[in-house]
Amino acid sequence: MASGAEARDRLAQTAMYDRVESALNLVNERKSGLTVPNKWAFEARVGGSVSGAQLAITWSRRNEPEATLYLNNDVEPELAAKTLLDRTYGLIAASFADRIIGRDGARDVSASMLRRVANRLNELYTGRFDEIIHGQSLPLVSIDHLERAGPNPFLYHARTGEVLGDFTGLVRQALDRLIQRNRLRIEDVDVGLLASLFRELFSNTHLHARTDLEGALYRRSARGIVFALRPVDIPHDSFAAGLPVLKEYIESMEREAARPRVEFLEVSVFDSGPGLAARTLRSVVPADLPIEREYELVQKCFLKTYTSVSNPAHGWGLPRVMHALKSSGGFMRLRTGRLSLCKWFPPGMKDPRVTADDLQFMDIGGGSPKRHARVEGAVFTILIPVGLGN
């Protein structure tokens, strides 16, 4: 196998979770360049775009200060840059690269691509939702090292720079745009629950995205939410993208749904921080630490009494996420450190109180937690079923 700058990791347009995990294994083994698709079917799968963003962040950290992104030639030349940057994973890959090489494999196009990145960020920070929505998803990102006029105003107060205290207006505005394209009615959606999920998930990821374990600012840092509407015809194996537990969850809806199509609202967040276990441990997770111990460190983050920061106002975000998940009959996937965990609940539970048993997570492949390739930051993906009774 080639080493150093000669090694390149290239994801095909058909790549799903398994190929992303394979790429992460390679990224952890040696230095390499990276090529991602301009068009990627994985983006339309649950958590696909944020998983691609996490891959790009992990690759960048393993290769800096020589992280080289090679542009793909899978679309027409005049559409390539826009196609890539319209997608969250593509925007993050370009923003976190030290150098960007053109489709010919030789020409340095870093300067022109960064100008396009700046234009795309301006669109995302100032545009209307009907312009920002890509397909059935709304990307809301904040990329610290490229922000010249302050953080994303859809997520932060322009004056104070604090995370918005209430996301209800944003969620309702986003739903108005997304639901226009489907038969779903806004009356079928618990807007308050979604706004709470936005607030808790993004506040949690905001705390951990920008600084390392010593409190120093990262050279590059980002975080974001992808809010999406995912209509699924049940059963639909391809929607699960090869994840057995997700397939099982989708199939469980067949008993509850009044019609063969179920709409899921997806709330996915990502960040570029050290990861949940490292924050809890307050140090880098040693390579020889048993995976069971890393799992315990992550599980601790979901306890009501635990917080990794000194501010007493914090420490309730992830417990509240679990309560919302159980109340709605939702699905969660968490990818952090060497763990890929999931949890789901059937809809219509009479008692949504979160118990100790509810904090027992499965490996994404089923069974007890297993060791996966190490990643930077954390990715949460939440699915909420809506309109089951229609």
Helix, strand or coil, per DSSP, at residue 385: strand
Q: Is the pLDDT of residue 3 over 90?
A: no
pLDDT bin (cut points 50, 70, 90) of residue 2 is: very low
Helix, strand or coil, per DSSP, at residue 361: coil
Q: What is the pLDDT of residue 89?
A: 96
**Do residues 344 and 46 lie in contact, with contact meaning Cβ atoms separated by under 8 Å?**
no
Beta bridge partners of 247: none
**Do residues 255 and 221 lie in contact, with contact meaning Cβ atoms separated by under 8 Å?**
no
Q: What is the pLDDT of residue 308?
A: 44
DSSP string, 23-35: HHHHHHHS--EEE
The answer to whether the peptide bond before residue 290 is cis (omega within 30 degrees of 0) is no
Q: What is the pLDDT of residue 252?
A: 82
Instruction: Note the pLDDT tens digit of each residue in 13-34.
Output: 999 999 999 999 999 999 999 9
Radius of gyration of the CA atoms of the chain, in A: 20
**Do residues 192 and 178 lie in contact, with contact meaning Cβ atoms separated by under 8 Å?**
no
pLDDT bin (cut points 50, 70, 90) of residue 130 is: confident
Beta bridge partners of 230: 264
Q: Is the pLDDT of residue 258 over 80?
A: no
Please give the Cα distance from 384 to 290 (Å, whole number). Answer: 33
Q: Is the pLDDT of residue 298 over 80?
A: yes
Q: What is the pLDDT of residue 140?
A: 94
Taking Cα atoms as reference points, which of 324, 323, 181, 194 lies closest to residue 266?
194
Rounded mean pLDDT of 64-74? 94
Q: What is the pLDDT of residue 307?
A: 46
Beta bridge partners of 223: 142, 271
**Do residues 9 and 27 lie in contact, with contact meaning Cβ atoms separated by under 8 Å?**
yes
Q: What are the distances in angstroms from CA 35 to CA 4, 145, 158, 233?
A: 15, 22, 35, 32
- Beta strand spans in 317-373 (E): 331-337, 339-344, 362-363
Helix, strand or coil, per DSSP, at residue 108: strand
Please give the Cα distance from 60 to 45 (Å, whole number). Answer: 24
Q: What is the pLDDT of residue 373?
A: 96
Instruction: Note the pLDDT tens digit of each residue in 315-339.
Output: 346 888 888 889 888 999 999 999 9
Is pTM, for the whole model, over 0.75? yes
Q: Is the pLDDT of residue 259 over 90?
A: no
Amino acid letter, residue 234: I
Rounded mean pLDDT of 202-218? 89
Beta bridge partners of 137: 134, 228
| φ, ψ at 251 (rounded to 5°) | -65, -30
Rounded mean pLDDT of 242-259? 80
Q: Is the pLDDT of residue 386 over 70?
A: yes
Rounded mean pLDDT of 110-131? 92
Please provide the average confidence, as pLDDT, over all residues in the chain.
Answer: 87
**Do residues 62 and 30 lie in contact, with contact meaning Cβ atoms separated by under 8 Å?**
no
- Residue whose pair of structure tokens reads 């312009």 in the numeric block: 131
Q: Are strands 362-363 and 33-35 parallel, antiparallel or unpaired?
A: unpaired
148 burial level (CB within 10 Å; 0-12, 13-18, 19+): exposed
Q: Is the pLDDT of residue 43 over 50?
A: yes
Please give the Cα distance from 200 to 194 (Å, whole number). Answer: 10
* Range among 134-138, 216-220, 261-265 rated most confident: 216-220
Please give the Cα distance from 126 to 153 (Å, whole number). Answer: 8
